Amino acid sequence: MGRRNPIDPERMGQIAGKVAVEILDEIEDAKVSEILSRWDELKALMPTAFEIAQAAREALLKKGYGA
């Protein structure tokens, strides 16, 4: 694998926000409210996603993968 350059969570949020704005600027206004509604649904699932990612990471490390 290539070299990793970790990005702090605040910077990742800034980048994600810029990407989201660019996407929303390119779509119909009627779709924006639907996308924002779905975004709220996804935000509600984030804690679960982080728990799953952490459990997967721990399992991989136990098996000797990663550093």
What's the total number of domains in the chain?
Answer: 1
Nearest Cα neighbor of 39 from 52, 26, 53, 21 is 21
Local confidence pLDDT in tens for the 67 residues of the chain: 455 667 788 888 888 889 888 888 888 777 888 878 888 888 888 888 889 989 998 999 999 987 5
In a domain, 35, yes or no: yes
pLDDT of the residue at 58: 92
In a domain, 21, yes or no: no
Range of the domain at 62: 29-67
pLDDT of the residue at 59: 92
One-letter amino acid at 56 equals A
> Rounded CA gap, 48 and 50, in Å?
5
In a domain, 17, yes or no: no
In a domain, 55, yes or no: yes
> Rounded CA gap, 9 and 18, in Å?
14
pLDDT of the residue at 55: 92
Backbone dihedral region for residue 65 (phi beyond 0: left; psi -120 to 50: alpha; all else: beta):
beta
In a domain, 14, yes or no: no
